[in-house]
Structure 1
């Protein structure tokens, strides 16, 4: 990560950063956003190099981070820095000023946010930890933006560059923040070189086929997580990031749909409808064929019957795949959620619920809601997944029902009234329910039980960092 000269950008003033690129000409843009806590983030197209942009994140306690990124990635970085992240490193690992977290990958449908997963044993590495007598500022490089090409690997001793950066802080004439308060990186057991895996290892751990992996690697915007390192000329990932990626693929609309779908691509509910209507159409068409045969005074042949069967099955599938035209899916989801909230509200004062230790006598879905939710899962698993997550979140925040209590009640109600195969229901709920949390509210740090069955066709967009400058 080389250092690029940012002296032509007014880094101290977010309004001025925005003004550099906003409404000044074609191919340039800038933006600033702040909050009531004194934090702000801003970006601007570089005035000399319009295919690059500067993105800046300021925190009143932890200082400022400055990155030079491809111009098309500026907005994405600006959005990534909203909220808790203060600094990103190692392909998406992020720091909130206190704790390092793994890249945000797994969606918590109840909280409507990515699940935060702390890095065990993480140590914050500062400039003071790295700079010693071997670093020589005179050998350091400060690249002019017009001379920088992110596609060309930068050789040289980065510690010398860091020493030059530290020297420039003194030359600026202001009292610099101590080097032991300037965060550069993180160190963690899971990021040790011997613990990293290459693309083949990623495919093996995540249960991805060779063909699917080749498609991911061929796609420049591919669905793979950002690598933690490219230092050896090839991408490598940490095992926990790979496991989270596999879990993300399970906990997705594609993943929950795959959980209740057969080899023919139809959900179990759609397959039931196809078979039902195929039989109805077969009887109708058979009667018509028989009547036509009698009129023609020739018996229906086996080929006639086979043709009728194929036509009936095609019509049955067409109906099964087009239920969105018959059932208002969004409206049904809202009504179902209102019904579940009402039922839980009436029973939330039961002793088990208030203690948060069990299902609680009387808490749960009525048979009618259980049957309706089971039908919804069988026919529209992705919409049901969103409904379930929203309901768990609302029960937690508005009814004060712990999420594990709601999740247990859903399991019991669906097992009793959902009319679903137990194995299919178990797989679906493992993917559809949000991550569990322990008694202290933290996530249970254990492998997802269906990672090896992850689906194989998802896309996760990512932004590639060109260069960065850490400053205070």
Structure 2
């Protein structure tokens, strides 16, 4: 099917309500930019400047394309659903046993979506992670430090953030009591270990 405004009304709405107006302002309404359309200014460097600015306009407007509150709620429910499935297996295997961090697992699609959210909307992701920590403790009595370590595993193994950046982010995201425990080694360096395993540096 040919992609047209009538066949893709959502895409047309994004174009008309946001980017068409922004691009017109950037390319025409600013006198310093209007000169770019003079023939002598049409060189590769100037075209790259235009491309960079338009691309940045899109990149910083992701929440207008896919609202962060909707994404946050979807990821939160997906994570809790998969944790619930993990706990069903745990309950069948060991009745009344405490849940360990490695028993809370996320499938690859959910882990990658959480990683995407952290990379593109870190503040909103922080709120979502906090909601997940509170929900697992309220629903299943799992301490936040256990859930935090499980999330750390998923983001380390299946995410695209460098380990240093991820560690710095988790320092900001974890509640103060977890942050102290994390720095004192309660997580036993698991995030760093997971990254080594992913890179094949540990046999």
Superposition TM-score, scaled by structure 1 size:
0.28
* Structure with the higher fraction of residues in helix conformation: 2
Separation in 2, partners of 1:318, 1:335 = 25
Q: 2:137 aligns with which of 368, 386, 396?
A: 396
Judging changes above 3 Å, is the alpha-carbon distance between structure 1 residues 385 and 435 closer, same or farther for their aligned structure 2 residues? Answer: same
1:341-391 Cα distance to aligned partner (Å, 9 max, x none): 11111112525x9424x3234x22111111000000110000000000011
Q: Does 1:409 align with 2:150?
A: yes
Separation in 2, partners of 1:397, 1:354 = 17
* Structure with the higher fraction of residues in strand conformation: 1
1:187-215 Cα distance to aligned partner (Å, 9 max, x none): xxxxxxxxxxxxxxxxxxxxxxxxxxxxx
Count how many residue pairs are aligned between Structure 1 and Structure 2.
Answer: 142
4+ residue stretches of structure 1 with deviation over 4 A? none
Separation in 2, partners of 1:347, 1:322 = 36
1:262-294 Cα distance to aligned partner (Å, 9 max, x none): xxxxxxxxxxxxxxxxxxxxxxxxxxxxxx9xx
Separation in 2, partners of 1:348, 1:429 = 24
Q: Tell me the residue number matched to 1:310.
A: 49
Separation in 2, partners of 1:345, 1:434 = 23
Superposition TM-score, scaled by structure 2 size:
0.62
Q: Tell me the residue number matched to 2:116.
A: 375
1:418-439 Cα distance to aligned partner (Å, 9 max, x none): 22111111110111122335xx
Q: Tell me the residue number matched to 1:321.
A: 60
Whether the 8 Å CA contact 1:348–1:401 is kept in 2: the answer is no
1:404-461 Cα distance to aligned partner (Å, 9 max, x none): 1101110000111122111111110111122335xxxxx75x79xxxxxxxxxxxxxx
Q: Secondary structure at the match of 2:75?
A: helix
Q: 1:342 aligns with which of 68, 81, 84?
A: 81
Q: Tell me the residue number matched to 1:428.
A: 169
- Greater C-alpha radius of gyration: 1
Separation in 1, partners of 2:97, 2:158 = 25
Gap regions ≥5 residues in structure 2: 1-36, 185-203
Structure-to-structure mapping, 1:252-263, within 5 angstroms: none
RMSD: 2.8
Gap regions ≥5 residues in structure 1: 1-291, 438-442, 448-472
Judging changes above 3 Å, is the alpha-carbon distance between structure 1 residues 406 and 354 closer, same or farther for their aligned structure 2 residues? Answer: farther
Separation in 2, partners of 1:419, 1:322 = 21
Q: Tell me the residue number matched to 1:418.
A: 159
1:90-112 Cα distance to aligned partner (Å, 9 max, x none): xxxxxxxxxxxxxxxxxxxxxxx
Structure-to-structure mapping, 1:171-250, within 5 angstroms: none
1:69-114 Cα distance to aligned partner (Å, 9 max, x none): xxxxxxxxxxxxxxxxxxxxxxxxxxxxxxxxxxxxxxxxxxxxxx
Q: 2:98 aligns with which of 335, 342, 355?
A: 355
Ranked by relative contact order (alpha carbons within 8 Å, sequence separation 6 or more), the top structure is: 1
